[in-house]
Chain A
Amino acid sequence: MKVLVGVKRVLDPQVKARVKADKSGIDLTNAKMTMNPFDENAVEEAIRLREAGTVEEVVALSIGAAKSEETLRNALALGADRAILVLTEDVLEPLAIAKVFKAIVEKESPDLVLVGKQAIDDDCNQTGQMLSALLGWPQATFASKLELADGTAQVTREVDSGLETINVNMPAVVSVDLRLNEPRYASLPNVMKAKRKPLEKMDLADLGLDTANRMTTIEVMEPPARAAGVIVESVAELVEKLRNEAKVI
């Protein structure tokens, strides 16, 4: 079995995003970038499936600027066998990203595609669902448990009311949640080895897809700031303020 894993380069989750003064977007100059945390879970799951003997090959895919190679090398250091980088300087919408994934799926014929449930920069939460729609495959989103057997996948999903279980035919697209597993760290020898693992690059233009954006970002603004609060000295003062000042209890 072969698994294709989506790996997106994003702003480090520990770093607070800063809006550019001209309101055109987020200032990413010299910002610390990293693999989307949900994608770390996706890579981890793929590697565990290979270690368990269920999967033979793990291929990592990223779509983005040349720097995304770093993120793919990280996936290779964690244990992916090879990587594909589709180069573009444009910021693509999830529909376009899903079309690129579909083109790669048609070349690679994986049995399973694993993506993060959302990318922490744009928080779209769309790519996996869109890809499965374009492929005519089933989808299993927000997975916190994945079991493969007899050509199907049994998936536990984190939903608002608790945990839902569904069973989907393979091939399938699964979008993963953070509690699926605990991602490992790359060891230094593996980081060195990753430099020699195969990484194929192609230009987005060569895929001949319609990836035009359907949305224009008019401006990016700071969220409204909260007024400064006060430190209360005691529980009694807190209760008094909640009753008489905020009037919420």
Chain B
Amino acid sequence: MSILVIAEHDNASLVGATLNTVTAAQQIGGDIDLLIAGNGCAAAAQAAAQVAGVNRVLLADDASLEGQLAENVANLVVSLAGNYTHVLTAATTFGKNFMPRAAALLDMSQISEISEVISADTFVRPVYAGNAMAKVQSSDSIKLITVRTTKFDAAAETGGSAAVEAVAVAADSGLSRFVGLAASESERVELTSASIVISGGRGMQNGENFHMLDSIADKLGAAVGASRAAVDAGFVPNDYQVGQTGKVIAPDLYIAVGISGAIQHLAGMKDSKTIVAINKDSEAPIFQVADYGLVADLFEAVPELDKAL
């Protein structure tokens, strides 16, 4: 078997999710090549070459891959896919964008967000916001797969010494143009790679009050997340959202503050190792998944927690 992993990167280094995807590839078994596609991304290719277990790094460095538009990335993946039995990428907004497009161009299905590898053609994937796990077997000749990264450990970032080979890039599709990215600025660890996350919900009442969580996050080296209600209300930006439509995370410690625990929120955090809930309503469904529940007014409990740390 031979596997192509499409890496996510910021030109300089790999995004953590790529390392988890490499582990999923290792569980399928076979030679693993990593594709780095972008504009000015040679440094990311060098980083990729160090990842343990990688056979070759394919570098597609071209102006047409600026912003990694789905049309151009999908065409590139299609041009390479014929050499592989499996093509994998992380189920991030990057992977979810181009992979189904590449699959359709190849007339193949995509197996979305696998959480377990059973064999080279059989996988488990969550459906219904994680309320059920479907075991599915694919009959396609190339398996195009997105990976739920919280379900696979990260591969070692060093220890490998893969060769970097340049690959040809097809012409710009001309269908779409990258205009810009307004990235949220934060000094803190990234939500999906943090080992501790503290999230606030509608109970926080406003964005100003989120500073109470920031203070705790700084002490614990944690990231700050939020429920959809808090994002919709404009307390915090969209990339804070944890859940079925936001980010799926599984930190060692997840602290939910003023979050009720709707099915869609649980879908994004219920695989966390330890869950803490602080909520004034003892009936809130979040307590059903919490290892430690504190029934309290957050405006008293959170400052007290801050002091105790």
Give A contacts to B, CB under 8 Å.
11, 13-14, 16-17, 19, 26, 93-95, 98, 117-118, 120-127, 129-134, 137-142, 144, 154, 157-169, 177-179, 213-223, 226-227, 229-232, 234-236, 238-239, 241-242, 246, 248-249
On whether A13 and B263 interact (CB within 8 A), knowing A123-B129, A125-B112, the answer reads: yes
Chain B residue nearest to A96 in the complex (CB): B109
Q: Which of A93, A160, A231 contacts B293 (CB 8 A)?
A: A231
Whether B179 pairs with A167 at a CB distance below 8 angstroms is yes
A-B contact count (CB 8 A): 255
Count of B residues near A, CB < 8 Å?
A: 90
Within 8 Å CB of A95, what residues of B? Answer: 103-104, 107-110
On whether A138 and B109 interact (CB within 8 A), knowing A219-B135, A230-B291, A248-B253, the answer reads: no
Q: Which of B93, B127, B247 contacts A123 (CB 8 A)?
A: B127
Whether B291 pairs with A229 at a CB distance below 8 angstroms is yes
Whether A17 pairs with B128 at a CB distance below 8 angstroms is yes
Q: How far is the CB of B1 from chain A (nearest CB, A)?
A: 18
Within 8 Å CB of B112, what residues of A? Answer: 122-126
Within 8 Å CB of B252, what residues of A? Answer: 248
Within 8 Å CB of B280, what residues of A? Answer: none
Whether B110 pairs with A126 at a CB distance below 8 angstroms is yes
4 closest pairs, A vs B, by CB?
A130-B104, A138-B175, A129-B100, A17-B128
8 A Cβ contacts from B62-117 to A:
67, 69-71, 74, 92-94, 96-105, 107-113
Secondary structure class of chain A's binding surface, majority of residues? mixed
Q: Which of A121, A134, A139, A178 contacts B127 (CB 8 A)?
A: A121
Fill in one digit per residue for B164-195: 1 if any A CB lies within 8 Å of its CB, else 0. 00000000011111111111100000001000
On whether A161 and B239 interact (CB within 8 A), knowing A16-B131, A215-B111, A219-B135, the answer reads: yes
A118 to B220 alpha-carbon distance, docked (Å): 34
Chain B residue nearest to A226 in the complex (CB): B289
User: Could you list 5 further interchain pairs (A-B, Cβ under 8 angstroms) beyond the known A17-B132, A160-B247?
Assistant: A95-B109, A120-B128, A142-B93, A231-B282, A234-B294
Within 8 Å CB of B183, what residues of A? Answer: 161-162
A163 to B113 alpha-carbon distance, docked (Å): 22
Within 8 Å CB of A227, what residues of B? Answer: 291
User: B137 an interface residue at 8 Å Cβ cutoff?
Assistant: yes
